[in-house]
Amino acid sequence: MSFDKPNPLSTKELPKQKLDAIARIEQLPCGVDLKIQFLLVLLEAKPAMTSSLTTRDGSPEAIVQTLREAGLYVELETQDHSNSLIVAQTPEAIQEILSLHVQREKHPLPAEYHEHYGKLVGYPQTAIDAFSGRIPSMGERASWELDPDLVFSITYSQAHCQEELELMRAWTRLIQQHAPNLYQEAHKKRLKKVAKK
């Protein structure tokens, strides 16, 4: 079973508009992990992503504007002095995630929530099952412990860890190829985490 789906933007030839969008996202004042998630959506590796924003991430409005100018769909939710950001390739994905957030408020995170959310943000089914406890997971081991070159981490299943790692490697290659400086920044951060353990 392979999760490494062909990506239309995995070649070196990106339109100037995409290259400009990558450069603008790289310049955002937010953390490297957040920028990588934005780029994975922009580069069509992930259909959507969500994240909380902190004061360290800079102006939420500036982030929203930059992402919209890049051609992405963005929703900023503000509640009790915190900001939650949804970024997607389609407006339908935004609406589905917003609907899930409403469900989450009514019911304490049922398994169906994790299932639907995981699919919306592009996680492999086996990783979703491991996260939900339906199949055994690799536990708390992070991607960079399994492969320090990776720039993204998920919950890995015991039975399909290698296939899931291949997907993370494909996502990492996209970042290496299209945002090498960002990759280097993320890689240094990961190596520091591994060294501390």
Q: How far apart, in Å, do the first and last CA atoms of the chain sit?
A: 32
As a whole number of angstroms, the distance between CA 128 and CA 93 comes to 18
Q: Where are the domains of the chain?
A: 14-108, 123-197
Q: Strands across the sheet with 73-79, in order?
A: 48-53, 82-88, 73-79
SS3 of residue 44 by DSSP? coil
Three-state SS at 84: strand
Inform me whether the pLDDT recorded for 22 exceeds 90.
yes
**pLDDT tier at 144 (50, 70, 90 boundaries)?**
low
Res. 2: pLDDT tops 60: no
Residue 182 main-chain phi, psi, to 5 deg: -65, -40
Q: Which CATH class is domain 14-108?
A: alpha beta
Q: Is 4 exposed, middle or buried (CB count within 10 Å of its CB: 0-12, 13-18, 19+)?
A: middle
pTM of the model: 0.89
Is pLDDT of 6 > 50? no
pLDDT in tens, 89-112: 999 999 999 998 887 777 766 677
